[in-house]
Amino acid sequence: MIEARGLTKRYGRTTAVNALTFNVQPGKVTGFLGPNGAGKSTTMRMILGLDHPSAGDVRIGGRRYADLKEPLREVGALLEAKWVHPNRSARSHLRWMAAANRIPAKRVDEVLEIVGLTGVAGRRAGGYSLGMAQRLGIAVALLGDPGVLLFDEPVNGLDPEGILWIRQFMHRLAHEGRTVFVSSHLLSEMALTAQELIVIGRGRLIAQTSTKSFIESASDSSVRVRGPELARLYGVLTGQGLAVQEAPATEDSPAALVVRGTSTEQVGELAGTVGLVLHELTESRGSLEQAFIQMTGGDVEYQAGGHTAAGAAPGGPGGPGGPGGPGGPSAAFPPPGTVPPPGSGTGPVLPGPVTPGVSGGPAGAPAPPAPQPGAEARRAGKP
């Protein structure tokens, strides 16, 4: 359980973290989401007592980090994998950290086993690949078998296998009843990892909510409809006062109409009452990246321009999901030619799950959180 109250950090005249108040509950993975430079790392460092807050405070299980007697037994943290002397072996690194909090030496071998570094534990850590360094960082975090775990951008720079491993690992830790707090600037990654989200932009809290409702409220849903008599369909829909856009035919998909602010039921019934034949009727959601940018709005530290290049992001080069992509059978991708929002393509993570809606499902709340089917598929697909 982590509680931040009015947590603030100022550097001279800039305010990196501005009166953040949030709770992180045990038993789930809580994502800490924000664009680069939003103050995530600074917040994590304040939680861990490395940086002193300018105002407010943050407690772990009711106590400040500095007041913990043997903190590694209560809080494990991976802030940066490279916090290891390059000429020291992984085992030596873990040995001194264990000794500092009187953790038995045999625990060192246990955590090396857990993260799969036993074979290379005697090698100098400077020669480790990023993935190995990240595993070592996780071994450090697990050393004291703590009830609270913090990870700062744990999947950055990892290959798909590493990403999947960390994601499953965090789920397991949360399942064991621990408090897991993970920061990321990739909503698509958080959608697969976190059940709860704390979203910040420019140091301010934007939302604390479940991942599901964040995505639902943030992403723009629309209905794509197609039939042999598009012009008539257009007339019928606009006649009901609906906002209809034409999506011209492309190589990948025939011409269709995109209707906003409605549900598949409404469109289907309207078409039915005038006896129109439909070839397609799907609900589609904007990409998570787009939702994220919408939510964080002007709160991006460095704006790159062109954020409004709308439409949902295309699937992007296959991430861990592979070329199969996230997908229901009727994945309704928006017309190509739309540009992925800046930032969404960085990182190795994921095709932005342009989430195929559940055809015919009610547009609103009860629909399962869109990315979940994709997540399941991915988990199942990778042994």
Partner 1 sequence: MTLLTVERIKLFSTRSPWWCMIIAVALTVGLTAIFSAATTSDDLDSLTPATTQFAYNFGLVVMMVMAALTVTTEYRFGTIRSTFLAVPGRTPALLAKTVVVAGLAGIVGEITAIGSWGLAKVIQPDAPLALDTSQEYRNVFGVGLIYLLAAVFAIGLALLIRHTAGAIVIMLVYLFLAESLLPVIPRIGDHIRDWLPFIVGNNFIVAGQPEASDGPPVIEGLPFGPWGSLVYFTVVCLVLLAAGLIAAKRRDA
Residue 45 interacting with partner 1 (CB under 8 A)? yes
Residue 165 interacting with partner 1 (CB under 8 A)? no
The answer to whether residues 280 and 330 touch, using CB atoms and an 8 Å cutoff, is yes
Residue 52 interacting with partner 1 (CB under 8 A)? yes
Window contacting partner 1 (CB under 8 A); options: 43-51, 113-121, 275-283, 375-383: 43-51
Closer to partner 1 by CB, 13 or 52: give it.
52
Residue 100 interacting with partner 1 (CB under 8 A)? yes
User: Residue 144, class by beta-carbon neighbours within 10 Å (0-12 exposed, 13-18 middle, 19+ buried)?
Assistant: buried
**DSSP H or E stretch at residue 7:** strand 2-11
Residue 95 interacting with partner 1 (CB under 8 A)? yes
Closer to partner 1 by CB, 96 or 346: give it.
96
Q: Out of 6, 55, 57, 86, name the contact with partner 1 by CB under 8 A.
A: 86
Residue 77 interacting with partner 1 (CB under 8 A)? yes
The answer to whether residues 3 and 148 touch, using CB atoms and an 8 Å cutoff, is no
Residue 202 interacting with partner 1 (CB under 8 A)? no
CB of 140 to partner 1, least distance (A): 7
Q: Out of 27, 102, 172, 336, name the contact with partner 1 by CB under 8 A.
A: 102
Window 326 to 355, contacts with partner 1 (CB under 8 A): none
Window 138 to 157, contacts with partner 1 (CB under 8 A): 140
Residue 65 interacting with partner 1 (CB under 8 A)? yes
The residue among 243, 237, 238 whose CA lies nearest residue 273 is 237
Distance CA 31, CA 324 (A): 26
Window contacting partner 1 (CB under 8 A); options: 79-87, 186-194, 302-310, 332-340: 79-87
Alpha carbon distances (Å) from 39 to 3, 79, 114, 300, 367: 17, 13, 31, 11, 33
Residue 89 interacting with partner 1 (CB under 8 A)? yes
Residue 293 interacting with partner 1 (CB under 8 A)? no
The answer to whether residues 128 and 88 touch, using CB atoms and an 8 Å cutoff, is no
Distance CA 317, CA 323 (A): 7
Distance CA 357, CA 370 (A): 7
- Going by their DSSP bridges, the two strands 148-152 and 75-78 should be labelled as parallel
Torsion of CA 256, 259, 260, 264, to 10 degrees: -110
Q: Out of 7, 17, 72, 256, name the contact with partner 1 by CB under 8 A.
A: 72
Residues within the interface to partner 1 (CB under 8 A): 45, 48-52, 65-68, 71-72, 77, 79-80, 82-89, 92-93, 95-97, 99-102, 140
